[in-house]
Amino acid sequence: MKMIIPLLLIITFTYCQKVDFREETGNCLKHKIAEFEQGDYACDKGATVHRYKFQGRFVYVFNPGPCGADMISPVYDENCVEICGLGGIAGNIMCNGESFDKATDETLIWEDK
């Protein structure tokens, strides 16, 4: 029982914190994530940034979260160039002429819980 209480405190503290792995990204992406976090486009809760391997390079999907069903998730390359937008009212899955379903190696970079 003595072990359960500290474990629950650690889990609770960890769960309540924002997940943030920005140190794994370049400077332009750190800045882009900070703008996303502070701006009006991301929802108050549930916004995420995921890194994927797509078309032979890393790309970053900025998902604004659940506050708008027709919102587009912009996709940036490692140089902060927007290469496409996913989702939206049409549910677009095409990016740079290819289905984004082919993206691999999903990694959570940032999350606002």
Q: pLDDT, tens digit, for every residue of 1-15? A: 444 443 333 333 334
Q: Indicate whether this model's pTM tops 0.95.
A: no
pLDDT of residue 75: 98
Q: Is 70 inside a domain boundary? A: yes
29: Cα separation from own chain's centroid: 11
How many folded domains does the chain comprise?
1
Task: List the domain range (segments joined by +) for residue 87.
Answer: 18-111
Q: Is 11 inside a domain boundary? A: no
Q: Is a pLDDT exceeding 90 seen at residue 86?
A: yes
Q: Is 6 inside a domain boundary? A: no
Q: Is 10 inside a domain boundary? A: no
CB atoms within 10 A of CB 31: 13
According to DSSP, residue 46 is labeled: -
Q: Is 12 inside a domain boundary? A: no
Q: Is 55 inside a domain boundary? A: yes
- C-alpha neighbours within 13 Å on the C-beta side of residue 65: 16
- What Rg value do the Cα atoms of the chain yield, rounded? 16
CB atoms within 10 A of CB 41: 14
Q: Lowest mean pLDDT of 8-17, 24-33, 47-56, 70-79, name the range.
A: 8-17
